[in-house]
Amino acid sequence: MSSAPNGPVVNGGVSFWYSALGLPEQRPPLDGDRTADVCIVGGGYTGLWTAYYLKKAEPTLRIVLLERRFCGYGASGRNGGWLYNGFAGRGAFARRYGRPRAQAMQRAMDQAVDEVVTVAAAEGIEADIVRGGVLEVARTPAQLERLAAFAEEEHAFGGTDLRVLTAGEAAARIGVDGVLGGTWTPHGARIQPARLARGLAAVVAGLGVEIHEGTPVTAIHPARGTAAASAETPYGTVRATHVLRATEGFTAGLRGERRTWLPMNSAMIATEPLPPEFWAETGWEGREVLGDFAHAYMYAQRTADDRIALGGRGVPYRFGSRTDSDGTTQQETVRQLREVLGRFFPAAAGARIDHAWAGVLGVPRDWCSTVELDRRTGLGWAGGYVGSGVTTTNLAGRTLRDLVLGEHTELTSLPWVGHSVRRWEPEPFRWLGVHGMYAAYHAADRQEADGRATTSPIARVADRIAGR
């Protein structure tokens, strides 16, 4: 491994995932007004899955998809590659709508992991998918306490195949330094996110969906009187029976949506390819995706070319809901993530960091993802995945399909459909709140790392600030 950990790092360029593929050539922008049955705003996983399932169900539908840059430019092409069964809001849904409905949502998410793998294989999408499951580890006594509570809750929601691991069992899967215990579930897979987005976009275009890239949507208008719902762009307006918003972390850029979902930043680094002796020592032969039980948690995978790609929050939020420029992240964030890498894998502490990047994810005020279609206005949306969108987007796409087609199914009965969320506070209150929340989480992690045996009360204060 390189002994020059602080050498030049490629920072931005959308993401490491595109560095090997190259950025795609943009499809032509919209060149005038259009009419359609369905207009989808956003070319990430949500928009692409929705278009895919609608076209498969009703091939005659006229579908226009509008994307500001290129399909997969946002979180869909930048995430950690966790195809897993977690989703945002399960506890809140159980409290508000009853545990049976939340359990039904969990079963749907378990099945959605299988669905993505099945569709990718059927459509010939090569996305480096390996079904290794999800390993989450505890490295402090307080984290171990949360691990036990997490496992109990998973079992209560039907996750009987989640296994609680001893320190030795967890280390046998992945040699994380200082591991005290872990959990493993089979409902997870590693993917190369940009490959999935690129492949899915090609399949959708091949089905006859009209995709226009380089086409920013500035405003979405509801149906009024005899006028259809519409999506407004600098190059023309698309009028459609249904206009579906699938913009996730970039939603705040739409007129009137600045306080709908907060664009939370998450950053990643990718090491150089690590040598065989590192993997002989570390294991990770199952290619599990890896996480932990810290408050400011990390997430990682072993890539197809034997790197570690590792992420965390960094600078969590930019004032005024601003978003990044092509994935560039702060040097301080790179330093923090390198420290995490060294703590988890001391043998990789000297590895060269080849790439760093960042992206935004959509966070609703109550941290619950939602799907909705208002037949009166013709407007629909899905999102607010809070970082668990790789699988949730697939469930959202199938649910939006059923809602658009007017079908009452098990999917349209899930508790996230029509779930209402209040708006975020105006500035500067949301900036102060988010930065205060993550400062508290980091402080709690430091306190626990110094030997506190139970969850820090600072973290409980942060949870109250967050409104979780």
* pLDDT tens-digit readout, 10-23: 999 999 999 989 99
The answer to whether the beta carbons of residues 127 and 394 sit under 8 Å apart is no
| pTM given for the model | 0.95
Residues with Cβ within 8 Å of residue 249, at least 6 apart in sequence: 74, 75, 261, 263, 264, 323, 359, 360, 361, 362
Single-letter amino acid code for the residue at 203 = V
The answer to whether the beta carbons of residues 92 and 370 sit under 8 Å apart is no
Give dist(CA 449, CA 53) in Å, integer: 46
Report the SS3 class of residue 79.
Answer: coil
pLDDT at 142: 95
Other beta carbons within 10 angstroms of residue 460's beta carbon come to: 11
The answer to whether the beta carbons of residues 307 and 272 sit under 8 Å apart is yes
In the predicted model, is pLDDT for residue 466 greater than 90? Answer: no
pLDDT at 441: 85
Instruction: Quote the DSSP letter at residue 378.
Output: T
pLDDT digits (tens, 9 = 90+) for 374-423: 999 999 999 999 999 999 999 999 999 999 999 999 999 999 999 999 99
Long-range Cβ contacts of 417-422 (<8 Å, 24+ apart)? 417/370, 417/371, 417/372, 418/370, 418/371, 418/372, 419/89, 419/93, 419/96, 419/368, 419/370, 419/372, 421/364, 421/365, 421/366, 421/368, 421/370, 421/384, 422/365, 422/366
Angle between helices 389-404 and 45-57 (to 10 degrees): 40
Torsion of CA 166, 168, 172, 177, to 10 degrees: 100
pLDDT digits (tens, 9 = 90+) for 269-284: 999 999 999 999 999 9
**Phi and psi (nearest 5°) for 82?**
-95, 100
The answer to whether the beta carbons of residues 229 and 239 sit under 8 Å apart is yes
Q: For the chain, how many residues are written?
A: 468
In the predicted model, is pLDDT for residue 7 greater than 70? Answer: no
Span between the terminal Cα atoms of the chain, in Å: 42
Averaged confidence pLDDT in the chain? 94
For CA atoms 344, 188, 193, 217, give the dihedral sign.
negative
Give dist(CA 302, CA 306) in Å, integer: 6
pLDDT band at 8; cut points 50, 70, 90 = low
How far apart, in Å, are the Cα atoms of 301 and each of 9, 141, 185, 267, 351? 19, 24, 15, 14, 16
The β-bridge relationship of strands 229-233 and 236-245 is antiparallel
In the predicted model, is pLDDT for residue 6 greater than 90? Answer: no
